[in-house]
A and B are shown apart, each in its own frame.
Chain A
Amino acid sequence: MKGQLSKDVLKLDEAAEVERIGARLREACGQVLRKRGLVVAISSGIDSSACVGVAVRALGASKVFGLILPERDSSPDSAKKAERLAQHLGIRYAIEDIAPTLEAIGCYRWRDQAIKRALPAYGPGWGMKIVISGGLEGRINHFRLIAKSPNDEMHDVRLGLEDYLQIVAATNYKQRIRKTIEYFHADRLNYAVVGTPNRLEYDQGFFVKNGDGAADVKPIAHLYKTQVYALARHLGLPAEICNTTPTTDTYSLPQGQDEFYFALPYQQMDYAVWALNHGVTAAELGSFLGIGEERAKNVYADIEAKRRTTSYMHAQPLLVEAVTELPKIDPVARK
């Protein structure tokens, strides 16, 4: 059904939504997963913060365990903010620096080897990030390495296939090691693991399969990022979290999510995804966002391309034939 695009389409009844999510979390733990509480890894970003906030509202602080899992490239502020959030909510938490684990498993070595192939001058003291390019101009998305030397010279190199894949594969260790630790604590406590994607991330496949994409329950996967911010403010989370611009906090140079993955900043992406979902034309979206029809068409094409190319990340392992004897769990609450 076609919807009317306006500033109001992302408005949320925050109190009702907190109650609805809370009911689902209680049902998920008590009746579906048979777990006694929830583990949430807190990055101090808005999504994990909102998730831990709703978890505490749903189950009480005593049944929520927080994990703060920084590594070498994390912003030092992130762990401090995450710890202040855990204290603000009154939950138990642990801080574990995963850098030694990543070092031991070869994460930084594999990554830096690929970076040096693409940019031979790269070495100790440099910063780097990957940015996406092409899609908004109607070209094919590809990735570029942005690196800063110790004397502040910037370098911009298009990544070839092998180097791009190796950098991403190495970096994905970070999300997968974090999830391994989350499940250790979940197993230890008989808790379930919370996944923290918002709707944009879930829809567009902005997660690492079996990394941050792995979870027992994903309480905000249906909410646009704008709505997650509103929920966080409603929950009374600290201003330093509610006012934070989203970053990936994955590479040594600061990296906005829209630089790495999304076609537009989240405020605009929310409207673009909503508009596509509700049959709004590219001309209307382009006018609403002030980006013009042609660019809006490219945004729609980019959203649909990401849905296609990341659909495997949502899939269960493929089987040759169904094993029908197993009980089915409906992933969506029907109440």
Chain B
Amino acid sequence: MTYQNPPMPPRKSATFDDHTLAEIRRAAATGIYDIRGGGTKRKLPHLDDLLFLGASMSRYPLEGYREACGTGVTLGTRFAKKPIALKIPITIAGMSFGSLSANAKEALGRGATLAGTSTTTGDGGMTDEERGHSDILVYQYLPSRYGMNPRDLRRADAIEVVVGQGAKPGGGGMLLGQKISDRVAAMRDLPKSIDQRSACRHPDWTGPDDLEIKIGELREITDWEKPIYVKVGGARPYYDTALAAKAGADVVVLDGMQGGTAATQDVFIEHVGQPTLACIRPAVQALQDLGLHRSVQLVISGGIRSGADVAKAIALGADAVSIGTAALVAIGDNDPAYEEEYRELGSTAGAYDDWHEGRDPAGITTQDPELAARLDPVRAGRKLANYLKVMTLEAQTIARACGHNHLHNLEPEDLVALTLEAAAMARVPLAGTDWYPGKAGF
């Protein structure tokens, strides 16, 4: 008797899945790697893999909506004459004018101001609209130095020396010619319509010792008033944090792998750096080893989406978090209302990432005046403020449940991990145990 296979559907390779096959065909047809915006799309260990231990007997919870839970944070307490006091520990990350429309930048400023927090410039320099709509504005000092001038340094509230970015630690940027309007070109001292490369390293220093001297120069120029942040991409978080602190940073901004970008190579976004979850504890450790934890503030970014993420990052030792992609979604990025147009662009709402092409139907990642006009900066700013306040309320709810009257009283002991990977990265016990990988004595 012979055996006959029952009818089976064809089986595709897990290694050569449909996406991989399509990418191979695309590369073969076009001769160029995929450049896109956004951040990582594949699943990575994340803060979702942690859980809070609400209070019952061994801890005493606070009453929601009744007992106060503080949310304020002051950044830049180490050296700056004028530290920044924020009402909430959630800031808006640097995103450039050029990559984003002027309306989008205005909306971010409006939303942040309504919520009592700061926003940040980006690679394109500072615009008057941005300064005008942001009560607290952090000015990025970037390798490209596009638009850099001492006048804007002086009218900033803090200076962020950008050394790396989570989506592309070690990489520069590329703003394609189609997004270079007259105004963007003028701000960047470059001709219109050509691809504008943002350098991967600062042209006038070559390491942490030079950075220390550079920070000294920036402080002298601004009369030691402004807090100096140093932003690093999440790749070697212990050493980069330690060196940034050694160089004199008031604040270290650590951007994990899930951080966004305006445009870079897909292969870079998906394969360089470490997940945000894996970066926090080594950075905190570095500051603790130097005796600088809490006196040099740590801001964590890269895939922060909810109050739970905020609370978890703070519990692991951060002083604040920063959001970029989530802020863009809040003001209307990838809105399903534009689904038909996303489909015409070969995408769908929730997956649109060709931000570098300047054809964003939501009017956010574009310099096309007609598209940009679709975004109402007042309404969008209101939405961002709502979102920031919801995140803060969520984080407060969790903190109260853990018995804390300030978000900064959250601690690693409030957390357990769902997976071995998360336990190892966050250095908190695997749920149901008192053990995590790497912990001595077990």
Do A and B form a real pair? no
A→B interface (CB under 8 Å): none
